[in-house]
Structure 1
Amino acid sequence: MSTAAIGYHFGTTDSLLVEALMRGIEEWSARLDDRLRSAPARPQRERLAAIWGSVTESFHGYRGVLAASFELIARADEDSELRDQLRLTVEHARHGLATQMLDIDPQREPERAHRAGTVCYAMLSGLIVQWLVEPTNLPDRDALADGLLDALGESGDRTGS
């Protein structure tokens, strides 16, 4: 694409890069969403372990996008429109994670969904950082499930762990 075409369609090459990165993040998010929606109906702890296994599997093939997403966050300090867009994305992700991981309906339990979704999002973000730094040394899916249940003050069905 010529510089003139970039300028016409995106304004600047930085805007083009931001747009490409946002599309990459949306693609990864859709892949993760599909994986979470297909989580098997099992006792809570087993289901969470399967979900966290799917989460870590979703990272493969998206290393560049996931790494660059942190640069995008850093750019948000200088770009209020980007910051607003990211803020909405994070809030949407919190609600989605509360629903898909913990079966919490944000419409019926908005406070609980916000709190639990925030914990899930923090774990997801932290797991991405750990995977980017040292992909072979992630906590296993069972430890992540137990950690989430501990953080939420729930016991789940931990038999066999």
Structure 2
Amino acid sequence: MGHKEELLEGAKKSLLELGFARTTARDIVARSGTNLASIGYHFGSKDALMLEAITSAMEDWGNVVATAPQGIEYDRPDEKFVAVWTQIIESFHRDRPLMVASFEALIEAEHNPILKQILVQAYPASSEDLPEQFLTVEETLEPSARAALGKVLLALISGVLTQYMVDPKTAPDANQLLVGLTLLGRLLGNNSKG
């Protein structure tokens, strides 16, 4: 592994141990076994390295949790939905330091235009695959409907994560999400026009 990869791994470790806002260049160097000059050479700045680290860490997290358990055939769409949500909610507990770092990055983005742009670019891409990851989606679903569904699922992840960060005991579990969304759909369906 070269210095660039070691720095990225050191930055990821720092994110988990110290958080996004409190990590210094010296923290990264200590965890990577490199030197301060390597940060500038490979990434330009500590901030650029931290941006890459949080982006990479969240992509790693998404690749692991946002899919239904493999090798299982689901008879009904609600079974897949509950299975995926169960994994995600378990990850909120298991990966809490990463979740905290992601919140810190969102707050930092308000004052950091480069980070803001990275997040702006990442959000649409991260919602595109969510319908298939969470549900059994008909191929005939219109692209605009598929996009809307992905955006709602992404908003749901963010909202449930926020509730878990504040108080895991009162946040919904996978079955409560299913019941609540089913009821919401039923109520909206009864009142929709045309």
Shorter-chain TM-score category? 0.7 to 0.9
AA paired with 2:104?
A: E
1:143 partnered with 2:176: yes
- Larger RCO (alpha carbons 8 Å, 6+ apart): 1
2:89–2:173 CA contact under 8 A, matched in 1:
no
User: For 1:28-43, what aligned pairs fall within 5 Å after superposition?
Assistant: 28-33=61-66, 35-36=67-68, 38=70, 40-43=73-76
| CA displacement at 1:107 relative to structure 2 | 8.9
Change beyond 3 A, Cα 1:43–1:25:
same
Shift in CA distance, 11/53, structure 1 to aligned 2, threshold 3 Å: same
Q: Secondary structure at the match of 1:59?
A: helix
In the TM superposition, residue 129 of structure 1 has moved relative to its aligned partner by 1.1
Which of residues 58, 81, 90 is equivalent to 2:123?
90
- More off after superposition, 75-84 vs 56-65: 75-84
The offset of 1:28, in angstroms, is: 0.7
Provide the alpha-carbon RMSD of the alignment. 2.7
Partner residue in 2 for 1:47 = 80
Corresponding position: 1:77 with 2:122? no
Q: Which residue of 2 aligns with 1:159?
A: none
* Secondary structure, counterpart of 2:119 in structure 1: helix
Residue segments in structure 1 that go unaligned for 5+ positions in a row: 155-161
Classify 1:119/1:29 alpha carbon distance in 2 versus 1 (closer, same or farther; 3 Å): same
Partner of 1:59: 92
Deviations 1:111-131 (A, max 9, x none): 111211121111111111111
In structure 1, C-alpha distance between the alignment counterparts of 2:42 and 2:183, rounded to whole Å: 48
Identify which range, 97-106 or 83-92, moves more after superposition. Answer: 97-106
Mapped contact 2:131–2:153 kept (Cα < 8 A): yes
CA deviation string 1:75-113 (max 9, x = no partner): 333444433322232112222111221333689521111
Residue pair 1:120, 1:148 contacting (<8 A) in 2 also: no
How many residue pairs get aligned? The number is 154
**Cα distance between partner residues in 1 of 2:49 and 2:139:** 34
2:68 maps to a residue whose letter is: L
- TM superposition shift of 1:147: 2.3
In structure 2, the residue matched to 1:123 is 156
TM-superposed deviation, 1:15: 1.9
Q: % of aligned pairs identical?
A: 30
Aligned residue in 2 for 1:99: 132
Kindly indicate whether the alpha-carbon contact (under 8 Å) linking 1:52 and 1:145 is maintained by their aligned counterparts in 2.
no
